[in-house]
């Protein structure tokens, strides 16, 4: 079995941002030479996430609105007692989750017809990263 690892770095312009990274993940798969296996994509920060869904701007805004309703920014999170003010960002990350595993078939990501891989940033405007680990033969 072969393995390939690369890191993606992000420094978003906004506090919350959703970045389509499908092409970047596909490039790592292509460079790896792995034909059959899987690609793990994982945010390496506790206020970010990775998910698979449709690349449609209305849906992305719906996801953002949904997360803000479930985990609104507000004073009063116990986490804020540490001096940070990103309690909502931690909760949003839990809702999205921090990683996905995508099948690799015939040297390509084996996604459904509308599926795309997204990096979701909930506490941005500083340098963060995600790992892509491709495994297989």
The candidate with the shortest Cα–Cα distance to 136, out of 102, 112, 95, is: 102
Q: What is the pLDDT of residues 52-67, one digit of tens each?
A: 999 999 999 999 999 9
Map tokens 């992305």 to a residue: 60
| Token digits of residue 86 | 């990103």
| Structural domains of the chain sorted by starting position, each given as residue range(s) with its CATH number in brackets | 2-104+112-136 (2.60.120.460)
Question: Which pLDDT score, from 0 to 100, does residue 21 have?
Answer: 98
CB atoms near residue 104 (< 10 Å): 23
pLDDT tens, position by position, 67-123: 999 999 999 999 999 999 999 999 999 999 999 999 999 999 999 999 999 999 999
Which pLDDT score, from 0 to 100, does residue 55 have? 95
Task: Give the per-residue pLDDT at 116.
Answer: 98
Average pLDDT over residues 36-63: 97
pLDDT digits (tens, 9 = 90+) for 73-86: 999 999 999 999 99
Question: How many other β-carbons are positioned within 10 Å of the β-carbon of residue 108?
Answer: 12
């Amino acid at each position: 079995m072969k393995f390939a690892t690369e890191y993606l770095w992000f420094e978003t312009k906004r506090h919350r941002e959703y970045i389509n990274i499908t092409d970047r993940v596909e490039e790592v798969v292509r460079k790896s030479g792995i034909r059959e296996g899987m690609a793990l994509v994982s945010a390496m920060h506790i206020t970010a996430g990775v998910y698979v869904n449709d690349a449609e701007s209305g849906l992305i805004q719906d996801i953002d609105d949904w997360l803000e309703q479930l985990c609104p920014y507000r004073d009063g999170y116990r986490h804020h007692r540490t001096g940070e003010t990103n309690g909502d960002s931690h909760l949003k990350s839990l809702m999205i989750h921090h990683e996905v595993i995508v099948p690799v078939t015939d040297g390509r990501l084996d996604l459904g017809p509308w599926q795309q891989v997204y990096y979701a940033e909930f506490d941005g405007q500083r340098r963060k990263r995600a790992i892509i680990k491709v495994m297989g033969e």
